[in-house]
Chain A
Amino acid sequence: MIEEWNKVHVVYVPAMEKQAAASPDWAPGWCRLDSSSIALTFPLPIGPTPASVKTFFFPQPETLLTYTLENNHPDKGLMREPERSRDMQVVLGVRPCDARSVLLNNLPYQEDQFFQANRQRTALVGFSCDQTLSTCFCTRMGGSPLDSEGLDLALSRTEDGFLIEVCSEKGEALVADLELAPAPESDISALAARRNAGGNPSATELDSLKGSELGTLYDAPLWQSLGEACINCGACTFICPTCYCFDIQDEVVRGQGRRIRYWDSCMFPLYSLHTSGHNPRGQKVQRTRNRFLHKLKYFPDRFGPFSCVGCGRCVQDCPVNIDIREVMDDLIHLTAVE
């Protein structure tokens, strides 16, 4: 199957080793399958892949426009849209949490032509999680380790192979020319039973935050100690599948310019610095608070769901062990006391 896709599409799998160098079609944390590669297998870790799929939809950076500043050039100063690859890219090994993150990011990016173009040319082939890590909390955020939401093809392990669910038109196109055995009824019902056994995914425990007063959460005493411990690096925001903030800049090298959109982080003071010199989030504690309240209050107030899929990457990698699960517990406790 992978072999067939690799002939016509660009195929990526999770990179488990440190990658050597960047090439133009390089996606950090993922490795592109070589067309000549014979071994068409890849290791898939338990829990989320090392890097999230954010990079395929929201590349770091995305070139929005290009221009030349060369004197005497007839096009000097004219902004042009760059040639964009329309090649289909297939991402293999996506976990349900990451698949869900694409749907969540799609809410603010509904009208963003770049995000939408990337969505159109990217197919996600996912694997449900038979095992989870102690840092996984997707069920708490309304997801499930067996979910197929957001995927184009969803693979679940059966006793003697994989059950493939076709979840979209893109997924249909991927399997159209393949000779696949029809799935036995027993496997289908077994998966449905496993899904039912997991219960209906809902973030009921957290839902109290949605109805709570913003002021209560905003003035919570926990931010002081969190802000004191936080070193305000951008690690959590960059590894997070649902952090989607960007900034735009022009870069000119030897007369050739490009306007890029690159990842920004609300942890950085520059993020909220005004031209006047005023910074509404000039203190560390304000920035730390903003990240959590954006995910758990501002985003759901605006769009409905929480902006977190419970992949646990930030829990694992935070240099000072700030754990969003503990933050949620504290906030729930606070609203319960109210």
Chain B
Amino acid sequence: MPTINKRISEEIRAQARKLLEEGEVAAVLGYGAGSLPMTVKPLVVRNPEDCSKLIWNTFCVLNLANYLPAALKSVEPPRGPRDPKPEGPLPKVAILVTGCWSRNIVVQIQEHQVARDRVVVMGVGSRGMVSRRKVAALFPGLEILAVKEGDHELVVQGADFAETINRWSVVRDNCQSCTHPDPVLVDVRIGEPVSERKNPNPFMQVDAIEQKTGDERWAWFTAEFATCIRCYACRNACPLCYCPTCFVDDAKPQWVGKSLDAVDTGLFHILRAYHCAGRCTDCGTCETVCPMGINMRMLTKKLNKDVLNLYNIEAGMEPDAPLPLTTYTMDDPEKFIATEVTPVPGAVKEGK
């Protein structure tokens, strides 16, 4: 009996081929095999014969929605920046999504980055993706040369060892706490739908940090971000970050210093997280792609918690729902408005 993911891979190839052959879509966004164990490559397939390269496994950790706007642009007939839009419908792109990525597409639709009628959503119910880093941490000092995937276990092999581990134990933190593993948009269903997961508190990791004292939280923050090399992989892998010029790349004026000053690095991470407030679906890609293993997802997760508590909204659940932070209603929480000035203890006036 082939594994669930083997069957899903077969189904993806067949459906992708069908969509391309029938001319329904001009490109399919999926994954190809990686060159190392536990890696995959993002892949844009444009010919039916290349569909056999498509795979699906438990290491599909990159968010493909990040590639969607560029893929849509790439299939349009070429035109200059001032040329009018060509008449008739533009070619479509098919994309593989799980729960969180489908919600990213919903956000892209809400924010007018993607036209719904140009996307064919191939929905896969997510069983949680495995963190390469978590697996490697179980084998310190050993190189993993191959990982064989079963439905509930992984066989990890090196030069002189082979060990079977439980799959769920190495699934990424964001997937373990996820409550919406099934896509909210589906045009082509792949595999079986996955039911909603019950999680009494998806914000356990955030709570643990919130319960610390101010000094402890500051210590956590400075230590967590001390090793950041400012490669911006977290930003560039994120489907929410599509500004033509990011605030850290602005030269006139320059908002953020360019070297590894802790203040600049901290500012980048905090501002990046705030730009994602009310839009982040906790797909975990930022954390996954970080070459330094920084847990920056804690910042966005905290904001997800705040947005849920303040506005009762989880990003990207309904295409027609308003965006929480660009919509004003009379009963919005206003607790942040100070009605009287309270003296800050220990504050000293400058210039005296």
A interface residues (Cβ-Cβ under 8 A, vs B): 18-22, 28-29, 43, 45-47, 60-61, 133-135, 225, 228-229, 231-235, 237-239, 247, 249, 251, 260, 262, 265, 268-270, 273, 284, 315-317, 319-323, 325-326
Contact = CB atoms under 8 A, between A and B. Distances in A.
Interface string B307-340: 0000000000000000000000000000000000
A187 to B, nearest CB: 26
Contacts of A262: 258-260
A233 B229 contact: no
Nearest to B33: A321
Contacts of B222: 21
A231 B62 CA distance: 11
B252 to A, nearest CB: 10
A21 B223 contact: yes
Interface of B: 34-36, 39-44, 62, 66-67, 70-71, 74, 141, 143, 145, 222-223, 226-227, 229-233, 235-237, 245, 249, 251, 257-260, 262, 288-289, 291, 293
A316 B36 contact: yes
A239 B292 CA distance: 10
A268 B230 CA distance: 11
Contacts, number: 118
27 contacts: A19-B226, A19-B227, A28-B229, A46-B143, A61-B260, A135-B36, A225-B44, A228-B42, A228-B71, A229-B43, A233-B289, A234-B231, A234-B232, A249-B258, A251-B259, A262-B259, A269-B245, A269-B249, A270-B249, A273-B251, A284-B70, A315-B36, A316-B36, A317-B291, A319-B62, A320-B41, A321-B36
A233 B226 contact: no
Given A20-B226, A262-B259, A320 B62 contact: yes
A61 to B, nearest CB: 4
Given A319-B62, A319-B291, 17 more contacts: A19-B227, A20-B226, A21-B222, A28-B227, A28-B260, A45-B141, A60-B229, A134-B143, A228-B42, A228-B74, A231-B236, A234-B231, A262-B258, A273-B251, A317-B291, A323-B35, A325-B35
A272 to B, nearest CB: 12
A287 B222 CA distance: 32
Greatest chain A CB density within 10 A among B227, B260, B291 is at B291
B44 A232 contact: no
B61 to A, nearest CB: 9
B36 A319 contact: no
A251 B291 contact: no
A229 B289 contact: no
